[in-house]
Amino acid sequence: MKAIILAAWEWSRLRPLTDTTPKPLIKIFGKPIIEHTMDSLHKYVDEFIIVVKYRQSLFREKLWNKYKKTPITYVEQWDEAGTWAAIKWIKVKWDFVILNWDSIFDKDDLEKICKLKWYGCLVKKVDNPEKYWIFKLNKKDEVVEVVEKPSTFIWDLANMWVYKVNHHIIDYLKEVELSPRWEIELTCGLNIFLKSFPFELKKMKWEFIDIGYPWDILTANSHFLNKLKKSKKKWKVEKNVTINGNVILWKWSVLKSWTYIEWNVYIWENSIIWPNIYIRWNTVIWDNCRLGNWNEIKNSSIWDYTNIAHLSYVWDSVIWNHVNIWWGFITANLRHDWTNIKIPVKWVLTDSWLRKFGCIIWDNTKTWINTSTYPGRIIWSSSFTNPWEIIK
């Protein structure tokens, strides 16, 4: 059985994060989004077929030699839109699993699909079916069709876009008409396929993680950190370090004396946490970072080669690669009027539905002394700030 992973889109809602990194390669809890999926599937498939387009060379670089027993084939999607454009050139026989890279699914739920005797789809029971693609059943509880955002109630099992099908669906897609979005979509062929083959709906046991906006990265990291049951300290913890929770500390990383950690924290390779730092609540620190004295870091994701000088406060923030923050940096993370934080998405202020969120700082940015930010602000790549500047 093959696994087809659709990973061609640019995903502009995640800008500025996706300006240099395709969404499937954004790291969540130690590995790229796409690897969470591949780690769950590789025992059940004999080949990964990844459909790529945007910055496709990075996939080959990151995944090279990653799954030695499961070969990876890359198929390039051209300028056409829609699922059909993504898979129509794929040469595959018999059964395959097909899914998007948008979300991280629990290993047990993906296993249900792989172990199906015949064919089927992951579904979730929802309270507002008018907002989803919903499967319709007949009186014998057989799947009849999948309907986009039905105006009247037909059922409450929503399509989660993880299927086990066979090569015939590619042929069926040649017969269908364009959707209202002027695309040929997989669901069009699916409605033909499920009339021809046994098709089961498998209810998800666990919640899936969707990373649709930059601030969802913090929620995704928290999902894994909240499940952390014990610490893994692969390198050096100096004397007088206090850890009230669990810590993953990878090789060549150091926690220096008088560091105080509260709740669960993930620190990747070759990062140094200097003395008298307070790190709390679901913080992830990646490779080659340096955090100076007397900092407070809370519920943040700090990417590779980032330095945060002393006397800084970074709360509920996403900080990308090669950022240099000088001393006295402060992120405000709560509005005085107690309303939700609004964050620019494609130049439009978007409700994050969060009461607390700090800032997003993009690649190669340098802040000068005593810079501070209003809640929900973005500092774009290769930016510089002035001393005492306030980002409003």
Active site residues: 310
- The conformation of residue 382, written as its DSSP 8-state character, comes to T
**Single-letter amino acid, residue 76:** E
Q: How many CB atoms lie within 10 A of CB 93?
A: 8
Could you tell me which of 275, 286, 175, 266 has the C-alpha nearest to residue 224?
266
Pairing of strands 209-210, 103-104: antiparallel
**Single-letter amino acid, residue 24:** P
- In degrees, rounded to 5, the angle at the alpha carbon of residue 139 between the alpha carbons of residues 135 and 140 is 90
Could you tell me which of 334, 259, 335 has the C-alpha nearest to residue 297?
259
Q: How many CB atoms lie within 10 A of CB 294?
A: 16
C-beta of residue 379 within 8 angstroms of C-beta of residue 368 = no
Could you tell me which of 105, 147, 107 has the C-alpha nearest to residue 129?
147
State whether residue 164 is helix, strand or coil.
strand
Phi/psi-derived region of residue 291, left when phi > 0, alpha when psi is between -120 and 50, beta in every other case: beta
DSSP-assigned beta bridge partners for residue 255: 237, 273
Dmax over CA atoms of the chain, in Å, equals: 70
**Helices of type H across 118-237:** 168-173, 186-196, 216-225
Structure tokens of 86?
């993504």
Burial of 362 (0-12, 13-18, 19+ CB in 10 A): buried
Residues 6+ apart with CB under 8 A from 64: none
